[in-house]
Amino acid sequence: MATYLDHAATTPLRPEAAAAMLPWLTERFGNPSGSHAVARAARAAIDDARDIVAAALGVDPGGVIFTGGGTEADNLAIAGVLARHAAQAGSAGPGGVVVCSAIEHHAVLHAAEAATKASGGTTETRVVPVHPDGTVDLDRLADALDPTVTVVSIMLVNNEVGTIQPFAQIARLVRRQARNAVLHTDAVQAFPWLDVTEAAQGADLISVSAHKFGGPQGTGVLAVRGDVAVAPIIHGGGQERDRRSGTHNVAGIVGLAAAMQATTNDRDATVARVRPMRDRLADELLHVIPGSAETGDRAVKIAGNCHLCFDGIESEALLVLLDDVGVCASAGSACASGAMDPSHVLVAMGIDRRRALGSLRLSLGHTTTDDDVELALKVVPDAVARLRESAAPVAQ
């Protein structure tokens, strides 16, 4: 079996989630929008799940909107707030002002871009830079905030490098300088490691995704605090209080709630167990591989993120070699239009382009063991050395 060090991409399904989902994948198949007993049982299961999620995220049950994942939750936060703003202003297009960081997930960045395009340019997006450690530049954020701002979206934890944002300071700035703005946070990577009710205090909207904490893929939540209104981006039967239409994914929702409860119960123990493994993994790789560097500041990262850059190699080739020896990992760069482009996150952090192309993200999680770390410490240095040898010029 492969050594799985890609928990930031997706996590193994927790046994609690699998057990909770099974009845709703077999004999319990009711549509919760119906009125008969089978349908009512499905509705009751969703209501129970809603209560669990609300408690875990620090919102009222009525503020829980079940979605098809974190991407949809992020899109609903951006587009839904802008659409509601336009409706209240009586304008034809979305309009409004979006403020976000340069290292947001593309679900936020592209949603803001799409809103600008749909509005014919009447929607404005202001992108705030970050420091080399990956934290938002608060001075530049302050410069971007004013009473015209409609929605501010700053992720709680970055998906690539694991940086935790100083969210309390961000919230205070927003309330002071853009008091009518809606504050959204993408907490998709945060929930396995942080108590979001504390870490995201001051947020009006919070996005999470089940498969990042041991739940099923294709299920997420946009949690709404207070009386913040979002317009639907999916129209139909008016489910989720007219905020997200479509037949509920009962099994997915039940599994999300079970995984959320299990994660909440053992989060502190998981963090205490995983952090020393991550530290050992990072420290020993940095020690034995010349031309290596850690991305960002470990002091402001979640416990499971180990992100390194290696000079003189390309990430995709490294990932192939690691996969060949049974290690599943990821990189901070993606292949676009047939050419390797550095990650927008690493570029925003000021990392040299050539170094950024040699990035490696080893993300640990609740199933990671010491044996997984041992194997990574053995095979990563060998793989980097092989790639450097193959790239070295041949002496004439």
Instruction: Enumerate the active-site residues.
Output: 335
- The interaxial angle of helices 106-118 and 70-89, nearest 10 deg, is 30
Instruction: Please name the residue that has the structure tokens 């829980």.
Output: 64
Half-sphere exposure of 181 (CA within 13 A, CB side): 32
Question: What secondary structure letter does DSSP report for 265?
Answer: H
- The answer to whether the beta carbons of residues 60 and 70 sit under 8 Å apart is no
Residue with tokens 């936020």: 108
Kindly list the distances between the CA atom of residue 244 and the CA atoms of 33, 36, 171, 219, 307, in Å, as whole numbers in the listed order: 13, 23, 27, 13, 36
- Quote the strand ranges of 332-387, DSSP E: 333-336, 339-342, 359-363
Residue 60 contacts by C-beta under 8 Å, 6 or more apart in sequence? 54
CB within 8 A of 282, min separation 6: which ones? 294, 298, 306, 308
Stated as kind and residue range, the H or E segment containing 57 is helix 37-57
Supply the DSSP string of 89-142, one letter for each residue: HT-SS---EEEEETT--HHHHHHHHHHHHHTTT-SEEEEEPB-TTS-B-HHHHH
Tokens of residue 274, six digits: 């995983």
- C-alpha–C-alpha distance, residues 311 and 347, integer Å: 16
> Which conformational region is residue 62 in: left (phi greater than 0), alpha (psi within -120 to 50 degrees), or beta?
alpha
How far from 288 is each of 1, 343, 376, 384, CA to CA, in Å?
26, 25, 12, 11
